[in-house]
Amino acid sequence: MNKDLKVFENLESEVRSYCRSFPTVFTKAKGSIMWDKEGKEYIDFFCGAGALNYGHNDPNMKQKLVDYIMSDGITHSLDKATTPKQEFLTTFNDVILKPRDLDYKVMFPGPTGTNTVESALKLARKVTGRTEVITFTNGFHGMTIGSLSVTGNAFKRKGAGIPLHNAVTMPYDRYMDDTTDSLDYLEHYLEDGGSGVEVPAAVILETVQGEGGLNWASNKWLKRLEELCNRFDILLIIDDVQAGVGRTGTFFSFEPAGIKPDIVCMSKSIGGYGSPFAITLIKPEYDIWAPGEHNGTFRGNNHAFVTATEALKYWDDPAFEKAIHEKIEKVTSYLNRIVKDYPELDGYVKGRGLMQGISCGVEGIAEDVAAEAFKRGLIMETAGADDEVFKLFPAINMDNETLERGFDVIEESVKAAVAKNEPVTN
Amino acid sequence: MNKDLKVFENLESEVRSYCRSFPTVFTKAKGSIMWDKEGKEYIDFFCGAGALNYGHNDPNMKQKLVDYIMSDGITHSLDKATTPKQEFLTTFNDVILKPRDLDYKVMFPGPTGTNTVESALKLARKVTGRTEVITFTNGFHGMTIGSLSVTGNAFKRKGAGIPLHNAVTMPYDRYMDDTTDSLDYLEHYLEDGGSGVEVPAAVILETVQGEGGLNWASNKWLKRLEELCNRFDILLIIDDVQAGVGRTGTFFSFEPAGIKPDIVCMSKSIGGYGSPFAITLIKPEYDIWAPGEHNGTFRGNNHAFVTATEALKYWDDPAFEKAIHEKIEKVTSYLNRIVKDYPELDGYVKGRGLMQGISCGVEGIAEDVAAEAFKRGLIMETAGADDEVFKLFPAINMDNETLERGFDVIEESVKAAVAKNEPVTN
Amino acid sequence: MNKDLKVFENLESEVRSYCRSFPTVFTKAKGSIMWDKEGKEYIDFFCGAGALNYGHNDPNMKQKLVDYIMSDGITHSLDKATTPKQEFLTTFNDVILKPRDLDYKVMFPGPTGTNTVESALKLARKVTGRTEVITFTNGFHGMTIGSLSVTGNAFKRKGAGIPLHNAVTMPYDRYMDDTTDSLDYLEHYLEDGGSGVEVPAAVILETVQGEGGLNWASNKWLKRLEELCNRFDILLIIDDVQAGVGRTGTFFSFEPAGIKPDIVCMSKSIGGYGSPFAITLIKPEYDIWAPGEHNGTFRGNNHAFVTATEALKYWDDPAFEKAIHEKIEKVTSYLNRIVKDYPELDGYVKGRGLMQGISCGVEGIAEDVAAEAFKRGLIMETAGADDEVFKLFPAINMDNETLERGFDVIEESVKAAVAKNEPVTN
Amino acid sequence: MNKDLKVFENLESEVRSYCRSFPTVFTKAKGSIMWDKEGKEYIDFFCGAGALNYGHNDPNMKQKLVDYIMSDGITHSLDKATTPKQEFLTTFNDVILKPRDLDYKVMFPGPTGTNTVESALKLARKVTGRTEVITFTNGFHGMTIGSLSVTGNAFKRKGAGIPLHNAVTMPYDRYMDDTTDSLDYLEHYLEDGGSGVEVPAAVILETVQGEGGLNWASNKWLKRLEELCNRFDILLIIDDVQAGVGRTGTFFSFEPAGIKPDIVCMSKSIGGYGSPFAITLIKPEYDIWAPGEHNGTFRGNNHAFVTATEALKYWDDPAFEKAIHEKIEKVTSYLNRIVKDYPELDGYVKGRGLMQGISCGVEGIAEDVAAEAFKRGLIMETAGADDEVFKLFPAINMDNETLERGFDVIEESVKAAVAKNEPVTN
């Protein structure tokens, strides 16, 4: 191991994880390219697990941020009023909410995904006076106890060290098979006073499960879920932390379904530049918080307000969204071709938007593809309970040349992985 | 209300709180001075509730941060290895841990106080295989369900919307009175197999309770608590999120007590510049995490690594700590004089280091002092269950001239509050 | 209201329930006949909700009990050794366990159904070191917090006044429809590390759900469930409190399925005479209790030992079981005919053995049938979430003449209920 | 081991406990004398842990019971109205409640102590809409999950196999020392909004802790507790399962304190003859149960109604209570003399009424005394976390001759235990 990595081994906790899959020391980044200490270049098909949808160090945001810092703008403000926060609120309302005919109050719950989820769960319980929450198989919502209670992964859950309560896991869209509508099941449980599952405060879900293996819910299923929630007076919470901010082609991932969630959780790319930031969107009629009932020291990260506001400006131009959709089509075609051309993967395409990947039927091969890609200068992650999926998470504004270059590297990596997995014959 | 504040009322959630006590829109800040949109100047005796111990926009950190951003340094890295992280780890070890003869592995649990607390509780449960945690009256540890379970405040707890479990609240130092050693109580419960309180995974506490009303634990009490933990094989967790990073005069608040906690939680000022950042320090023998068993999208906030590393350099010079101690003495003398000169407050001095204040026996008067101070251009908070304490949280590097100026404003505010509270006679 | 009933209204808690459906004061009973204070006679098709499978005041048991009392035999013994307990243990082993090739240790957990269930859950958690338990929709297991946690009924659960934890409700046999094998669902959850449902300590279920509406599990389903439990190392607990002791035709209700549960819960009719009594049967390898780890003041009810032992003697003669099966056939034929002859009920036959009834599609009509039957001198209960089932629970040794007489009364009651529900036409 | 005991070893669960301390097979009993299979006689100073306060097989009750059985009286009735229940309700009201100026509705929650406790906790939560319950150190309330949550003993609690929730353990009277009023703690916690202990639904306690080591609460302490409950609108639940029915000299143990609990739990000796029986007494204004919201198969044990009614008649004659008080004085004098005469025990007298014993400072000696007593034909139990107390639980109607005979046997046993524990010198 090189000397630099030794520092992490000696001083950092065993909990560290990505530095094991990507064993090098990174120094700088621009757009979709990262460089390590040795000057080696990497194409980024990972995007900080969805926190860097606009790529690294976007020049517009960078300029605004540096100007702000140079002017001694307020950095940290808790929930005091500041100019950047005012601008963010106004821009978010004008550029995002109004054009989509959405009416939400914005809460700043603390700057991480798990914070917005915890705030949403608290509020839903307060609004309804109920305690239980329905979540879905393979959902991922965060690592603090409240969010972990509604997260499916057994390894993560076990980390709690205590039994997790107040949540019931229902089957996600197509959980059993492609023909059963899994909401029949939820509906039956809700209708039946003997089912052991009480009417919950809320249901919480991602429209595409980024950590859970790229499962995604159809528009029809989401629409029916919204109707069920209305019928039983249950709050619908969409956790758009990973699938939001253009990752699936639209700003909110749920736009194509035509639903209007009661609460929306956002983080990761909402800050634009990769700085910690999160917001919770609340239908005005449910904004019944007492002042300070939920709080957090870093809920006023003004650097993030500045870059977030700048990032939103992209969405003012309809061409931006159109370009994402074109990229999505490229990725979809590419992945379908790979599945067809490399039957040795025993794969099929999963996911939606720029959250797609190939689920491989051969044990270990998806991890091999990602490892080979890293060797060849491309960063890509695996997902799923057995790491059976390799995921393409390019920046939503990646230029076509880099995208194609990435495609080539991945195909080379697939070839290498397939070769490695070939039975030796002679 | 002015037009600017209207934006917050219209678009931000009801949960907002400090913008109600300090109703103006802030724009910039430098050292211990803040300015609002009208150009009015405020002396900051609040320091972002302990997140701005070095004041606002420290010029050294600012320069490093801007240089880093301009060089397109990595912004967001999850737990991949990066140069700024490497430098932070090395500097923290060299400047802070080694000279204090402390040996800890550093965990990056996500960038907020509640994240470090949740990670500490999880780890203590994993290490011991036990579920319960002992916390103390008036402790404050965060707003996500795990941290909230070990937090005392009834209003905050109620916000959970569910019963909170796996925690037992024991009396903090001098909770009952000044002569009873409240650890007798804890010891009795632990020794007695019929007490209903099982031997816990951990005890968690702050050495000074910033949110809970400036109660503080004596060195002797802390030492005895450490011995009790050793005797019953309980992990000792110090939550130094607010009292750490020089707030009480030493880098760690527990240094004068001569204890070595098993886990230390840090956030707020550890990032130096007010950016979201947190670390969990773990004795190497307890660092038994599996990779990724706890994680978080923003655990690699490189902007904070850069400023945090720069901030640590202050501690290389012994004069820095000495200067804090001198400031502490000034504050102590000043507060004692105020108590003596204004018997109408019916007050006494509470707290330790630069976390001191006056607890007032007259209902509402502490809030009046803070409100009068705001009018006169000074930001100061109240604390305690009935907001009966007004708190002085100056920057640890505030210059003496500003400190004295602040003292004057506060004294004027006390006078005004006292006058307002005087019974009308004729 | 008559004077006698006034006493109950004045002095007994509002929680009283059956005295509202059967508003009279009962005085004596013999076999399947009960008498009230006015001397009115009632045929008992209720059997104390399954606690009086041998009818009332069986003459053999009565004689043994009176002889025992007259001889000043020990009445109450906690778990001290006594002669009647010795005889019960020996007889139970010789007459019940050995002939069925079953090997269980017998635990006396306290004399009620909920006691045996609570003891079973505790033991399963101790054996496996896991906390969660899988239960099934519409299961009923008791009213103390541990048992209530694994009970489906929403009204009963709400009575807890606290959220109920550590249980997951899976769909019972044919819960969704007649073609889906609901164990596919359980299996999928257990196999999937992201399902949010961890491998539990145990599954607990009734083979026929007496309180939950006479749903019953097929032999094939039970066998597959046993295999799933074996595969995932989960303890299989059969709650035979209501369906056991001959109620379904065999001593244990699970005999026809050919399964061997790890733990069996018995109460109700196991005492024979209607005295409080319960036992928990435990496979020897799981009998790892520490002495006194579970206990209860009335776990040594010697009057019940005496009558229980006498009752077991019935099972020594194969003719006894054969006669029950003949009675079951009569009931089945009868109910099928009623369904056919009274299409106005919109009914179908539910249940198994002497736990059968008719589920009616017309709202309120099942309750009308039961009320009409009471008027005509027959005691019968309704079941199901909307009381849509009327249940026939005759004694397993009811003579044919009484059975036929009961059939006639019920048919008259059906006629009256149908007439009452007929739409008025003219 | 003799052949008879072998049966229990082979067929009964390892959980059995008293048969290990008293290794013989009992056959019959009368008053305060028990006989085993070999005809050996034992004086009973144990009384079924308080379930046999009137001794064994009281002739009056026996006669009534046999007459009732011979007349084919209803045995099992759930909560249908029956003649014996009517008589019990009327007699309990006339003989017990009215003369004591108490007004309670009577609930039949199922026939065991843990059933009445679980029903009380449920109701208190329903009445107040709160979830938490305050219990006291070394309290014992039962073995089902709800009752176990409010029980102090660590060994019993661990048996649950899950963390126990919704309870906070406060210090019982004189828990810390003889001078601190432990209610100062409770009051401070309740008054302080930052204490981490919310205002509970109820407090539950025993006035004398039979299982917890014969600690007892003073009248003054109980009175102050009642006042605290009133002030904070908390329900006061007295668990009189063991200390009630004359065990401390009065029918209810709390009579001398002059308090009127909101709910009273009774079981053990309330049935008179040792048959399973329990009642929950509820102030009329809190009797807000829905019908059937709590239930249990054996809540209508008519044999126990018959003997319970007969037993109550004793209380009609003031001489009965007077005789108990005389017996109490004898026991107190005797125990004080033993402590004085046998300084080798290093003992002191604990408890109240006919729940007294000697707490011994020499490890193991209390168990030796009990073992020696068994050899000499006297049944007596130890208590306390380390079994450091030997307890005298004579029948409340034990004749003086038997009492004196018992005293002699115990003194002999003390002598033998002291001799055994003497250091060998030569």
Q: What is the ipTM metric for this complex? A: 0.97
C305 and C352 inside one domain: no
Instruction: From chain C, pick out residues whose CB is under 8 angstroms from the CB of B162.
Output: 163
D307 and D331 inside one domain: no
Of B338, B376, B341, B340, whose CA–CA distance to B357 is shortest? B338
B292 touches chain C (CB under 8 A): no
Strands D355-360, D347-352: pairing kind: antiparallel
Domain hosting C178: range is: 73-315
User: Closest residue of C to B164, CA-based?
Assistant: C163
The residues facing D360 across adjacent strands are D347
Interface of D with B in 236-255 (CB under 8 A): none
CATH of the domain at B87: 3.40.640.10
Note the pLDDT tens digit of each residue in B370-391. 999 999 999 999 998 789 999 9
Q: How far apart are CA A425 and CA A346, in angstroms?
A: 20
C189 touches chain A (CB under 8 A): yes
D306 and D368 inside one domain: no
Residue of B150, B169, B195 with shortest CB distance to D197: B169
Domain endpoint, select from C285, C315, C345: C315
pLDDT of residue D1: 60
The fraction of chain C above a pLDDT of 70, given in percent, is 99
pLDDT at A426 over 60: no
C167 and C261 inside one domain: yes
Give the DSSP per-residue string, B100-147: GT---EEE---SSHHHHHHHHHHHHHHHH----EEEETT----SSHHH
Q: Are B115 and A118 in contact (CB under 8 A)?
A: no
B284 and B184 inside one domain: yes
| Mean pLDDT of all residues in D349-354 | 97
Q: How far apart are CA D397 and CA D403, in angstroms?
A: 10
DSSP character for D208?
B
Of A403, A382, A381, A405, whose CA–CA distance to A394 is shortest? A403
pLDDT of residue B385: 79
- The token duo for D86 is 């009517």
D281 and D145 inside one domain: yes
A162 touches chain D (CB under 8 A): yes
A232 and A335 inside one domain: no
pLDDT of residue D386: 86
C280 and C196 inside one domain: yes
Position C425 confidence tier, pLDDT thresholds 50, 70, 90: low
| Mean pLDDT of all residues in B149-171 | 97
| Mean pLDDT of all residues in C400-422 | 96
D162 touches chain A (CB under 8 A): yes
Of B326, B325, B382, whose CA–CA distance to B358 is shortest? B382
The answer as to whether A63 is a domain residue is no
Q: At C56, is the secondary structure helix, strand, or coil? A: strand
Position B1 confidence tier, pLDDT thresholds 50, 70, 90: low
The answer as to whether B62 is a domain residue is no
Instruction: From chain A, pick out residues whose CB is under 8 angstroms from the CB of B76.
Output: 48, 51-52, 56, 273-275
pLDDT of residue B17: 96
Of B151, B185, B217, B153, whose CA–CA distance to D184 is shortest? B185
- Work out the minimum CA distance from A263 to partner chain B, whole angstroms: 12
D146 touches chain B (CB under 8 A): no
pLDDT at C320 over 90: yes
B387 touches chain D (CB under 8 A): no
Chains that touch D (3 or more CB pairs under 8 A): A, B, C
User: Closest residue of C to A180, CA-based?
Assistant: C180
B272 and B215 inside one domain: yes
Residue of B132, B138, B163 with shortest CB distance to D131: B163
The answer as to whether A65 is a domain residue is no
Burial D209-244 (b: 16+ CB within 10 A, else e): bbbbbbbbbeeebbebbbebbeeeebbbbbbbbbbb
D387 touches chain C (CB under 8 A): no
Note the pLDDT tens digit of each residue in B58-70. 999 999 999 999 9
pLDDT of residue D426: 54
B with D: how many residue pairs have Cβ under 8 Å apart?
102
pLDDT at C270 over 60: yes
B46 and B178 inside one domain: no
The answer as to whether D307 is a domain residue is yes
D301 and D326 inside one domain: no
C72 touches chain D (CB under 8 A): yes
User: Closest residue of A to D162, CA-based?
Assistant: A163
Residue of D155, D188, D192 with shortest CB distance to B385: D192
pTM assigned to the model? 0.97
Position A21 confidence tier, pLDDT thresholds 50, 70, 90: very high
B110/A79 CB distance under 8 A: no
Number of domains in chain D: 2
Domain endpoint, select from D256, D289, D315: D315
The answer as to whether C68 is a domain residue is no
Q: At C33, is the secondary structure helix, strand, or coil? A: strand
D162/A162 CB distance under 8 A: no
User: Closest residue of D to A161, CA-based?
Assistant: D163
Q: How far apart are CA A62 and CA A82, in angstroms?
A: 20
pLDDT of residue D374: 98
Note the pLDDT tens digit of each residue in A363-379. 999 999 999 999 999 99
pLDDT of residue D311: 98
pLDDT at C385 over 90: no
B65 touches chain A (CB under 8 A): yes
Q: Are B245 and B53 in contact (CB under 8 A)?
A: yes
A45 and A94 inside one domain: no
Instruction: From chain C, pick out residues whose CB is under 8 angstroms from the CB of D89.
Output: 7-8, 11-12
D152/B185 CB distance under 8 A: no
Residue of C158, C195, C385 with shortest CB distance to A194: C385
A321 touches chain C (CB under 8 A): no
| Mean pLDDT of all residues in D230-241 | 98
Chains that touch A (3 or more CB pairs under 8 A): B, C, D
Give the DSSP per-residue string, D19-64: HHHS-SEEEEEEBTEEEETT--EEEESSHHHHT-TT-BS-HHHHHH
The answer as to whether C426 is a domain residue is no
Q: Are D75 and C66 in contact (CB under 8 A)?
A: no
Mean pLDDT of chain A: 96
The answer as to whether A334 is a domain residue is yes
Note the pLDDT tens digit of each residue in B3-38. 889 999 999 999 999 999 999 999 999 999 999 999
The residues facing B347 across adjacent strands are B360
Domain endpoint, select from C315, C342, C377: C315
B194/D168 CB distance under 8 A: no
pLDDT of residue C426: 54
User: Closest residue of D to B165, CA-based?
Assistant: D165
pLDDT at A112 over 90: yes
The answer as to whether B426 is a domain residue is no
| Mean pLDDT of all residues in D48-70 | 98
- The token duo for D222 is 């109980």
Position C261 confidence tier, pLDDT thresholds 50, 70, 90: very high
B157/D196 CB distance under 8 A: yes
| Mean pLDDT of all residues in D392-420 | 97
| Mean pLDDT of all residues in B45-68 | 98
What stretches of B342-375 show up as alpha helix (H) in DSSP? 365-375
CATH of the domain at C12: 3.90.1150.10
